[in-house]
Amino acid sequence: MSWIREGELNLLEKIASNVLKAGPMPKHVAFIMDGNRRFARKKNMERQEGHMQGFNKLAETLRWCKQLSIPEVTVYAFSIENFKRTKEEVDGLLDLARQKFERLLEERENLEKHGVCIRVLGDLNMLPLDLQQLIAKAVLTTKTNNKCFLNVCFAYTSRYEITNAVREMAWGVEQGLIKASDVSEALLSECLYSNNSPNPDLLIRTSGEVRLSDFLLWQTSHSCLVFQSVLWPEYTFWNLCEAILQYQLNHKSIQKARELHREEQALQQLEADRACVADLLQHQGNGKPADAKRRQEALHLCTASREARVQDFLQALKQKRNHFFSDLYGEAVSAYESQS
């Protein structure tokens, strides 16, 4: 089954699509694709076939999102917790991933035609080396495509992602790239695996479960959460329309919450910069209080210095992550050439 499904919506679907597009549309939708195993039991089929049907549904859902002008999708493909399942099931899921990333590489021209950029979010070191290399190839092959984005969360949990972001900031402090006082909520967001994406507008979970299961906990604090009872392989265009309608009904309150949060973040950063200025003037002063002009100049200097440090740190972090993928890709090419 292809990653990119061709085909148009039928007449009724097109009418529904046009009606929805008259309102505010989500730009980024996240899916917890739950219910593959229950679907397999329901249909008296092997678990692996249930997971295969789940991938087929993902390809179909990506087509619907494209038709609805939703440019970014994030999916929970494989949780770190999934490693606790039986060896047979874990091996089956990893084999399915190998097949699908190999197929993706075969479809690179089609992905380029549609402008699809694939990103994989998670700790790839937990995966077998050959699968890491396949993923690196897929990521690097599509990295310049910019019409639509598919983020595949693999070997991922949100708590692990947040913990890793804290480690990255600690590394930045140890390397002298940033100061401990530069650490902030905004900086942590920039250190997440998902730093290249806006936060999801809409998160959908299927199968009737009403929990996030450690998925995008940080990013969805101001997102519309929709829980639907349908099993993922049975998901339909109309289920997606229902979820988008829920988003539209709550759009104003979501936007208001986001604006308030941005204002609060800006205020917190301003207070932190003012505290930096107070310390600076205290060390430089001779006991006399600084006038307003001097305080303003010091605030501007402190803010500019912090922003420069943060940008240098984020650039170093980006290079470190890029090197991880390019090194994997280089290893894969070398292994292929040695076998030829």
Residues 291-303 pLDDT 10s = 788 888 889 999 9
Is domain 11-251 classified as CATH 3.40.630.30? no
What does the domain layout of the chain look like in residue ranges? 11-251
3-state helix, strand and coil shares in percent for the chain, rounded to the nearest 5 = 60, 10, 25
Distance CA 274, CA 267 (A): 10
Q: Please enumerate in sequence order all residues whose Cβ is within 8 A of that of 208, keeping only pairs 6 or more positions apart, or say none.
A: 227, 228, 229
pLDDT at 287: 56
Residue tagged 């309608």 (tokens): 245
Query: CA quadruple 89, 121, 30, 262: dihedral positive or negative?
Result: positive
Does pTM top 0.95 for this prediction? no
Which residue type is seen at 71?
P
Q: Which letter, b or e, does each residue of 151-160 get, where b requires 16 or more Cβ atoms within 10 Å of its Cβ?
A: bbbbbbbbeb
Question: Is residue 68 within 8 Å of residue 21, measured between CB atoms?
Answer: yes
Residues 91-145 pLDDT 10s = 999 999 999 999 999 998 989 999 999 999 999 999 999 999 999 999 999 999 9
pLDDT at 2: 67
The yes-or-no verdict on residue 190 having pLDDT over 60 is yes
The yes-or-no verdict on residue 319 having pLDDT over 80 is yes
**Which range, of 47-51, 272-276, 314-318, averages the lowest pLDDT?**
272-276
Q: Give, in degrees to the nearest 5, the angle at Cα 150 between 155 and 40.
A: 60
Distance CA 310, CA 217 (A): 24
Helix axes 251-284, 292-339, angle to 10 degrees: 110
